[in-house]
């Protein structure tokens, strides 16, 4: 059962909508002096009827005059039920039909017909009007809707209508699709002592006092200082309620049509694909590239319509079209929209958004599966991700639907598990894998004598290419592991190499390396200075490259910036050190010198290497084993 029911009025000018709301609630929804003077509603009016301590009915009184249909559209966003008001002495009029069409496009599912001014006509006239209304509504969403007779001079009418509205509080779906909130601003004003206040219908989620919410289009964080629901201060407002938010921001930064949300995932768009249904009585076909007015939430945006393979759309047609917007829009899939002609301003049709981030000339399938829409959202992340509810907030599906789609995408191979809690799309992975392997192949091509590329150097080059979607060390480790598992790379220490890469040596290169190895081997346990291995007979750069190739290949071991040992000699030094610590707690330099029968200088050089490797730790003039 709903705690709040949002009920909107619709119908022709002067059919008694505002008087009806005032009679039901005791609140005059005409809030502007000009409205009272002219006797018509220009802006949205709001009133409420409290049924008990927990439940209330919130009324949105919308303008009926054609000039003010834009305000009517703003009020319709978030309605649960519409009261279609028809005067008993006039019946259906032009704006009655137009309001009915608009409401059908905005997915308002429940309706009540209220025949007002029943005290001005005979009983026979009322019965005739009921039959006429029944026929008119036969093929609309209001077919079979209750028809209630009303006179503001008869309180029995009020009781009957309130009882009918109460029944809808049980019938209306109470499911909360997502946890994030969304409100389209329909009014902005300042209150002395409070600051900026905005109003609107909370169409998703909840908002709490003290919460930080996002303002679109500025993407600014704004703190909610206070919340009122129909004049009463509350700590929290829930979806379906008409709310006033006191915000910690200057009034100049917010205007009607802006969106407030607890989600930071909303993205602006200027191209949307729409499933459009045209009205049955449009004066002329809608032509390709015709300039139109788009209404979404409380925003009006000028746009052009792109019709694939068609020059025009006639009346009562339904198809996917693309709207190229002249200013940014923040929206979600399945949001309802209305389109009206640019001039003269008449309603042409409406529908729902099927793609919020459309590409030019690539119209979407309106019946895209949940899997496809979830995949689009995940592909937009453009990096590995952990699954959080916030990812799906821009989708019009339940969390259960989104999670089921996520599991199917894994099973179908569209998503990859990078680690226990991390996933990536195949699209992202193929892009990163291609860039990774390209960098590695180019390195091998330019450095034929090196067995591999430093892994952190490779990550730096990869991030330079990706720019705005750089890869963290954690994600990079997962990429390395996956490529190793797939046998596309090999890892040796800190080096990455292509398994198919083989170093080919010329006779000259082999002779230089043999000389270097022989000299280091000849020195046995005595470290060999690197500069001793670079001689005059051969190019210095070539000798250095070959020496570091031997080091990277672990044929030689670099124990300092100036010296190397052979792999065999290094192993002997390490074994002697560990053998000593099996019997002793401490090792002095002199003891290590005597163990290896080398100079004190060489002993210090080797021990300092073990210190840097965290094998030993120096304490005053001795070493201890730390691992």
Any idea which residue has 């009926």 for tokens?
64
Q: Quote the pLDDT of residue 35.
A: 33
Say which residues have a Cβ less than 8 Å from residue 468's Cβ, sequence separation at least 6. none
Residue 84 clears pLDDT 80, i.e. is over it: yes
β pairing state of 268-278 and 347-355? antiparallel
Average pLDDT over residues 592-610: 92
Q: Quote the pLDDT of residue 593.
A: 93
Residue 188 clears pLDDT 80, i.e. is over it: yes
Q: Quote the pLDDT of residue 329.
A: 94
Average pLDDT over residues 603-613: 92
Say which residues have a Cβ less than 8 Å from residue 65's Cβ, sequence separation at least 6. 13, 40, 41, 42, 95
Alpha-carbon dihedral angle through residues 499, 505, 511, 513, given to the nearest 10 degrees: -30
Average pLDDT over residues 497-523: 85
Residue 420 clears pLDDT 80, i.e. is over it: no
In angstroms, what CA-CA distances link 96 with 9, 21, 23, 31, 164?
Answer: 11, 17, 21, 23, 22
Contact (CB, 8 A) for 182 and 259: yes
**pLDDT digits over 250-269, tens only?**
999 999 899 999 988 788 89
Average pLDDT over residues 76-100: 85
State percent of the chain over pLDDT 70: 90
pTM across the whole model: 0.58
The Cα–Cα gap between 218 and 224 comes to 16
Q: Quote the pLDDT of residue 587.
A: 92
Say which residues have a Cβ less than 8 Å from residue 20's Cβ, sequence separation at least 6. 9, 83, 85, 114, 116, 150, 152
Residue 193 clears pLDDT 90, i.e. is over it: no
Alpha-carbon dihedral angle through residues 578, 582, 584, 590, given to the nearest 10 degrees: -30
Coil, helix or strand at residue 424: strand
DSSP annotation of 362: B
In terms of average pLDDT, the best of 66-70, 99-103, 178-182, 350-354 is 350-354
Label residue 164 exposed, middle or buried (CB < 10 Å: 0-12, 13-18, 19+): middle
Cis bond before residue 344 (omega within 30° of 0): yes
58 pLDDT tier (thresholds 50, 70, 90): confident
Average pLDDT over residues 488-504: 83
130 pLDDT tier (thresholds 50, 70, 90): very high
The Cα–Cα gap between 451 and 490 comes to 10
In terms of average pLDDT, the best of 148-152, 281-285, 332-336 is 148-152
Quote the distance between the C-alpha of residue 57 and its chain's center.
33
Q: Quote the pLDDT of residue 367.
A: 46
In terms of average pLDDT, the best of 33-42, 288-297, 540-549 is 288-297
β pairing state of 318-330 and 268-278? antiparallel
Say which residues have a Cβ less than 8 Å from residue 82's Cβ, sequence separation at least 6. 7, 8, 9, 10, 76, 103, 108, 110, 111, 112, 142
**Taking the alpha carbons of 525, 526, 528, 532 in that order, is the dihedral positive or negative?**
negative
Contact (CB, 8 A) for 321 and 274: yes
Q: Quote the pLDDT of residue 345.
A: 84
Closest CA to 360 of 320, 411, 394, 322: 322
Q: Please calculate the CA angle 554-559-561 and round it to the nearest 5 degrees.
A: 110
Say which residues have a Cβ less than 8 Å from residue 559's Cβ, sequence separation at least 6. 527, 565, 570, 605, 606, 609
Residue 360 clears pLDDT 50, i.e. is over it: yes
72 pLDDT tier (thresholds 50, 70, 90): low
Q: Quote the pLDDT of residue 40.
A: 31
The Cα–Cα gap between 590 and 553 comes to 32
Average pLDDT over residues 382-394: 77
Return the structure tokens found at 253.
Answer: 């930064």
Quote the distance between the C-alpha of residue 105 and its chain's center.
26
Residue 16 clears pLDDT 60, i.e. is over it: yes
Q: Quote the pLDDT of residue 412.
A: 80
In whole numbers, what is the pLDDT of the chain averaged over residues?
A: 84
172 pLDDT tier (thresholds 50, 70, 90): low
Phi then psi for 436, rounded to 5 degrees?
A: -60, -50
368 pLDDT tier (thresholds 50, 70, 90): low
Q: Please, what are the domains in the chain?
A: 4-171 (3.40.50.300), 182-261 (2.40.30.10), 268-355 (2.40.30.10), 369-504 (1.10.10.10), 507-625 (1.10.10.10)
Residue 447 clears pLDDT 70, i.e. is over it: yes
């Amino acid at each position: 059962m709903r705690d709040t029911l949002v009920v909107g009025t619709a119908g022709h000018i002067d059919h008694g909508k505002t008087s009806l709301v005032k009679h039901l609630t005791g609140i005059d929804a005409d809030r502007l002096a000009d409205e009272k003077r002219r006797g018509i509603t220009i802006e949205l009016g709001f009133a409420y009827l409290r049924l008990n301590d927990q439940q209330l009915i919130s009324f949105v009184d919308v303008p009926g005059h054609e000039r003010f249909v834009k305000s009517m559209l703003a009020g319709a966003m978030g309605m649960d039920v519409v009261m279609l008001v028809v005067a008993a002495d006039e019946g259906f009029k032009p704006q009655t039909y137009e309001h009915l069409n608009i409401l059908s496009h905005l997915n308002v599912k429940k309706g009540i017909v209220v025949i007002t001014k029943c005290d001005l006509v005979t009983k026979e006239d009322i019965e005739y009007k009921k039959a006429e209304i029944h026929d008119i509504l036969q093929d609309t969403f209001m077919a079979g809707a209750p028809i209630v007779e009303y006179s503001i001079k008869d309180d029995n009418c009020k009781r009957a209508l309130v009882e009918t509205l109460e029944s809808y509080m049980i019938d209306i779906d109470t499911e909360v699709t997502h946890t994030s909130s969304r409100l389209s601003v329909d009014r902005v004003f300042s209150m002395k002592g409070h600051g900026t206040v905005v109003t609107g219908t909370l169409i998703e989620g909840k908002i709490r006092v003290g919460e930080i919410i996002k303002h679109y289009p500025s993407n600014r964080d704004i703190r909610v200082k206070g919340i009122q629901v129909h004049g009463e201060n509350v700590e929290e407002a829930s979806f379906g309620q008409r709310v006033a938010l006191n915000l910690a921001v200057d009034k100049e930064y917010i205007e009607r049509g802006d969106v407030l949300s607890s989600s930071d995932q909303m993205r602006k768009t200027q191209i949307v694909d729409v499933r459009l249904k045209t009205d049955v009585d449009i004066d002329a076909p809608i032509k390709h590239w015709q300039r139109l007015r788009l209404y979404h939430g409380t925003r009006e945006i000028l746009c052009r319509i792109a019709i694939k393979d068609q020059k025009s759309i006639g009346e009562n047609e339904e198809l996917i079209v693309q709207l190229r917007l002249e200013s940014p829009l923040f929206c979600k899939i399945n949001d309802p929209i209305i389109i009206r002609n640019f001039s003269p301003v008449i309603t042409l049709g409406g529908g729902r958004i099927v793609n919020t981030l459309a590409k030019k000339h690539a119209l979407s399938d309106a019946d895209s599966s949940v899997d496809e829409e979830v995949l689009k959202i995940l592909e937009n992340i453009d990096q590995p991700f952990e699954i959080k509810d916030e990812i799906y907030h821009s989708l019009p599906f339940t969390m259960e639907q989104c999670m089921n789609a996520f599991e199917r995408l894994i099973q179908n191979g569209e998503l990859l598990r990078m680690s226990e809690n991390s996933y990536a799309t195949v699209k992202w992975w193929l892009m990163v894998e291609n860039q990774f392997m390209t960098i590695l192949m180019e390195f091998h091509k330019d450095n034929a004598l090196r067995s591999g590329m430093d892994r952190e150097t490779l990550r730096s080059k990869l991030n330079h290419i990706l720019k705005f979607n750089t890869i963290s060390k954690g994600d990079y480790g997962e990429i390395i592991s996956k490529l190793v598992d797939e046998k596309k790379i090999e890892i040796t220490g800190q080096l990455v190499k292509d398994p198919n890469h083989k170093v080919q040596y010329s006779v000259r290169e082999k002779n230089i390396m043999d000389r270097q190895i022989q000299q280091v081997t000849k020195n046995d346990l005595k470290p060999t200075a690197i500069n001793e291995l670079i001689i005059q007979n051969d190019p210095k750069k070539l000798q250095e490259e070959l020496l570091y190739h031997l080091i990277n290949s672990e044929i030689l071991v670099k124990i300092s910036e100036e010296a190397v040992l052979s792999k065999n000699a290094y192993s002997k030094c390490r074994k002697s050190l560990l053998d000593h610590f099996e019997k002793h707690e401490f090792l002095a330099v002199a003891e290590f010198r005597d163990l290896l029968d080398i100079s004190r200088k060489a002993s210090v050089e080797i021990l300092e290497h073990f210190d840097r490797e965290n094998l030993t730790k120096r304490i005053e003039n001795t070493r201890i084993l730390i691992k």
